[in-house]
Structure 1
Amino acid sequence: MTAVLLYTLGVLVFVVAILVSIGLHELGHMIPAKKFGGKVTQYFIGFGPTVWSKQIGETEYGVKAIPLGGYVKIVGMLPPEAAELADDISYDADGNQVTRVRKSNTGMFTQLISDARAAEWELVKPEDSDRLFYKMSSWKKVVVMAGGPSVNLLIAFGIFAAVFATYGNPADETVTTKIDEVQACVVPAEESGRVCTEEEIREQPTPAFEAGLEEGDRIVSFNGVEAESWDQVQQLIRDNGDGRAEIVIERDGEILPPIVTETTVTPRFLSEDAEDPVEVGFLGVRPSTHPTTGGPFYTLEQMGGMTVDVVKALGTLPVKVFDVGQAIFGLEERDPTGPVSIVGGGRLAGETAAHEEIQVQEKVISLLMLIAGFNFFIGMFNFVPLLPLDGGHIASALWEALRRGLARLRGRPDPGYVDAAKLLPVAYVVASAMLVMGVVLIVGDLVVPVHLES
């Protein structure tokens, strides 16, 4: 029962953390939009039927049934069609010009665009004329649309920085000169990891075992050379061949007299891509490791590397999702390092929390890293310059600023606002692809889930 409760707790913590992240993402859009005078009519977490909502001022705040995202409705995202079209202009009772859009058209894509404009402008009132999103300065549009994913990246940075500064980075271990294990016998390279038999320990003990080195000892020097790093010590041992070795160690805070032994020679593969082993000096110890700690600059450096990895992952995402589809039908094994949905993330969080062999501190760190990883990916994904993602709107605003700037430099008329509505066919295709990939990943996480490695 305890394992079930811990599993449930892990899932709940993950889900709540993601929902909070979604809510903060949308605040990242809404706050600057309102600050710049825009009109925000809705702020919702989730999609589908409304579970709860409350009207505060001109904005309706609420929660919907499917917690797979969220949105804010900023009035005037799409500009009207060209004002010179006669049927796009009407006047109110006071004689003020009111821009509207045509509600019918020919051609599938043209009709989609026209319908989207009509739906958009049903919310626009004459008094909203100066508060429409498309009329904002280009830099304000960029700030509003970049606000959401930037919040996710800031969340990820905050979690990563806190973990790296205290516990350390689990993915970046520092190797020390402290001994974590003393191997009892010489095991052939091709049998690395095998447990020694009593006969092997008697007949071919390692120099370290024979010399009496113990777990927890710290190598201070080797053959008179001060030990500054494990790489250095390892190279000294390898270069020593089967020669005499004088080792100074620190045990329980005390420097012991030099231990004199002889290293032996054993074949070892010196790199992962080596085809043949090379005979080198061998002592028979394994160093201890600990997660590398670091501050804000270290965190930024690590996130830079993560950015490269995410960009590569996004490039192969359709293929990876296709592989998940193959796994669903039993045509291949599920890749344990492949993409997962929020459902898969919840399962991993639950398994981490319920795992008996993982210490409480490590469980907390794993959950934090999982939450930070999801936020980092969500933030980076939303910067992809395609509608309906935030990056698509950012790209439109930047293009608008560029062409207006070029027009001013050339002394030409202002080319006007960029019409994002013309890119709606692309948005529909991208949204459909995202929906399909999301469904495949969710089904995959239910049918052939990725499990926590033992």
Structure 2
Amino acid sequence: MTTWMTILGIVVFVVGLLFSIAWHELGHLTTAKMFGIRVPQYMVGFGPTLFSRKKGDTEYGVKAVPLGGYIRMIGMFPPGDDGKLQARSTSPFRGMIEDARSAAFEELQPGDEHRLFYTRKPWKRVIVMFAGPFMNLVLAVVIFMSVLMGFGINTQTTQVGSVSDCVISASAKTDKCPAGAKDSPAKAAGLRAGDKIVTFNGRAVPDWGTLQEQIRRTTGPATLGVERHGAKVTLQADLIENKVARTDGHGGYVPGEYVTAGFLGFTPASGIVQQTFGQSVDRMGNMVTQGVQSLVQVPGKIPDLWNAVFNGAERKQDSPMGVVGAARVGGEVFSLHIPPEQRVATMLFLVAGFNLSLFLFNMLPLLPLDGGHIAGALWESLRRAFAKVVRRPDPGPFDVAKLMPIAYVVAGIFICFTLLVLVADVVNPVKLT
């Protein structure tokens, strides 16, 4: 049964992946057609074509390798300086430029002169290239908000999970009470596992974050309003200062860092809690921030990936993960012994996270990514505006094709990194904890 559920989880993730790719390319397609650009192909996947059908002047299809997708637009790059396609040069860099320019015009048909991508105003090109990543962002936001507000997420609550027997510093390497240790303020006050703290010093505490903040700000006497077996109980506690783990501001803790703050001495219980709209927006903001930070940190994680593949080192939980690794995690999600609705919610979170990553990654201002074309259009706009201000001749379209040598280098780096992640996902995968 576990094997079948794992296979089902992988299949569900792959379907979600294909939909995300198709959704991304749909953004490019619809905006390109809206601005009158001819689009010969709309494809999901790479490699051999499994299915295709032509409607109007666009061929729609699915290819064998579900690792991406694309649309082909006529005239992605402007002609050469003489207004024509240049002959093939012996220079390898010039050859890259001319090959890219040739590909942009290889399907040019009569009447296409006014349907070329490069002839559109820069702001229109920005919209066409931004529409794909934006579709992924929209899908990520819709899924995240639906899960957070509809299903809820596993989070710490104001219910008491366990009470500390004594006062121990968070930096201590043991959780056993040393001889002569004082009882924790929570134990001395009579707090019990299962109690739900509803007020602190007369103020309502709707969530764990609020309660934690008030506890850390307080030393000395405090009044706890508690619900115990349906009855309301008032407890008097005497909080003390203690060394506690530093929080990261997002509900987690910073490993190895401590602060001195008020200490009560209990561990909160966790549960599935539906989030309010405001809480959901706040969590979404944190996810985007963490996504940007993770993207910036990727180069620094390459040595750990290399060691995990070739030196038998432990694969870290925050290690970069590719499509194969994510599909594997999707299989593990469906095989977990948790309620079905939690499996669905976790899978949706996985797909939403993939879409958020697609958005952030594609917004990098590097060719051949969408962000590279956006940067080229913006640069052209600035260049033309500057020429107009200083009364110089219009410099014309910015020739993005001249950046193709850099694009090939970037693509090569991406391919090598993708292969390293792929091997790591196979031989030393990230596993759910």
What band does the TM-score fall into relative to the shorter chain?
0.7 to 0.9
Deviates more, 1:330-339 or 1:58-67: 330-339
**Aligned-pair CA distance for 1:318:** 2.9
Q: 1:440 & 1:236 partners in 2: Cα distance?
A: 47
* 1:272-421 alignment, distance < 5 Å: 272=246, 284-289=265-270, 291=273, 293-295=275-277, 298-330=279-311, 332-356=313-337, 358-421=338-401
**Aligned-pair CA distance for 1:10:** 1.0
Q: 2:30 & 2:261 partners in 1: Cα distance?
A: 65
Residue 371 of structure 2 aligns to a residue in which SS? helix
Q: 2:368 & 2:400 partners in 1: Cα distance?
A: 10
Letter paired with 1:7 = T
- The 1:161/1:425 distance shift into structure 2, 3 A limit, reads same
**Root mean square deviation of aligned Cα:** 3.2
Q: 1:405 & 1:237 partners in 2: Cα distance?
A: 58
- The 1:246/1:377 distance shift into structure 2, 3 A limit, reads closer
Instruction: Mark the structure with the bigger radius of gyration.
Output: 1
C-alpha contact 1:168 1:294 (8 A) present in aligned 2: no
- The 1:422/1:279 distance shift into structure 2, 3 A limit, reads closer
Deviates more, 1:9-18 or 1:409-418: 409-418
**Aligned-pair CA distance for 1:259:** 5.4
**2:413 matched to 1:439?**
no
Q: Pick the aligned partner of 1:254 from 226, 231, 256.
A: 231
- The 1:179/1:43 distance shift into structure 2, 3 A limit, reads same
Q: Quote the sequence identity (%).
A: 39
C-alpha contact 1:219 1:249 (8 A) present in aligned 2: yes
Residue 40 of structure 1 aligns to a residue in which SS? coil
**Aligned-pair CA distance for 1:236:** 8.3
Residue 270 of structure 1 aligns to a residue in which SS? strand
Deviates more, 1:49-58 or 1:389-398: 49-58
Q: 2:184 & 2:375 partners in 1: Cα distance?
A: 63
- The 1:254/1:74 distance shift into structure 2, 3 A limit, reads same
Match of 2:36 in 1: 37
Deviates more, 1:106-115 or 1:437-446: 106-115
- The 1:286/1:54 distance shift into structure 2, 3 A limit, reads same
Match of 1:215 in 2: 193
**Aligned-pair CA distance for 1:235:** 5.0
- The 1:226/1:138 distance shift into structure 2, 3 A limit, reads closer
Residue 130 of structure 2 aligns to a residue in which SS? helix
Letter paired with 2:27 = G
**Aligned-pair CA distance for 1:193:** 4.8
Match of 1:111 in 2: 95
Q: 2:186 & 2:286 partners in 1: Cα distance?
A: 38
Q: Pick the aligned partner of 2:138 from 126, 131, 154.
A: 154
Tell me the matched-pair count.
417
**Aligned-pair CA distance for 1:360:** 2.6
Match of 1:93 in 2: none
Match of 1:165 in 2: 149
Q: 2:8 & 2:223 partners in 1: Cα distance?
A: 54
- The 1:300/1:103 distance shift into structure 2, 3 A limit, reads farther
C-alpha contact 2:44 2:66 (8 A) present in aligned 1: yes
**Aligned-pair CA distance for 1:64:** 1.1
**2:432 matched to 1:428?**
no
- The 1:221/1:18 distance shift into structure 2, 3 A limit, reads closer
**2:6 matched to 1:22?**
no
Letter paired with 2:296 = G
**2:244 matched to 1:270?**
yes
Residue 269 of structure 1 aligns to a residue in which SS? strand
Q: What are the superposed Cα offsets for residues 421-453 of structure 1, whole Å, 9 maximum, x if unpaired?
A: 101101111111111111111111001111111
C-alpha contact 2:150 2:274 (8 A) present in aligned 1: no
Q: 1:270 & 1:54 partners in 2: Cα distance?
A: 62
Q: 2:261 & 2:99 partners in 1: Cα distance?
A: 74
**Aligned-pair CA distance for 1:301:** 4.0
Q: 2:22 & 2:60 partners in 1: Cα distance?
A: 11
C-alpha contact 2:167 2:183 (8 A) present in aligned 1: no
- The 1:191/1:314 distance shift into structure 2, 3 A limit, reads closer
**Aligned-pair CA distance for 1:403:** 1.4
C-alpha contact 2:220 2:238 (8 A) present in aligned 1: no
Q: What are the superposed Cα offsets for residues 351-407 of structure 1, whole Å, 9 maximum, x if unpaired?
A: 121122x33333222211111111001111101111100001111111111111222
- The 1:207/1:33 distance shift into structure 2, 3 A limit, reads closer
**2:83 matched to 1:102?**
no
Q: 2:416 & 2:331 partners in 1: Cα distance?
A: 26
Q: What are the superposed Cα offsets for residues 127-159 of structure 1, whole Å, 9 maximum, x if unpaired?
A: 110001110111110111001000001111101
- The 1:275/1:236 distance shift into structure 2, 3 A limit, reads closer
Match of 1:49 in 2: 48
**Aligned-pair CA distance for 1:345:** 0.3
C-alpha contact 1:174 1:292 (8 A) present in aligned 2: no
- The 1:47/1:235 distance shift into structure 2, 3 A limit, reads closer
Residue 244 of structure 2 aligns to a residue in which SS? coil
- The 1:268/1:104 distance shift into structure 2, 3 A limit, reads same
Unaligned runs of 5+ in 2: 247-253
- The 1:230/1:54 distance shift into structure 2, 3 A limit, reads same
C-alpha contact 2:45 2:65 (8 A) present in aligned 1: yes
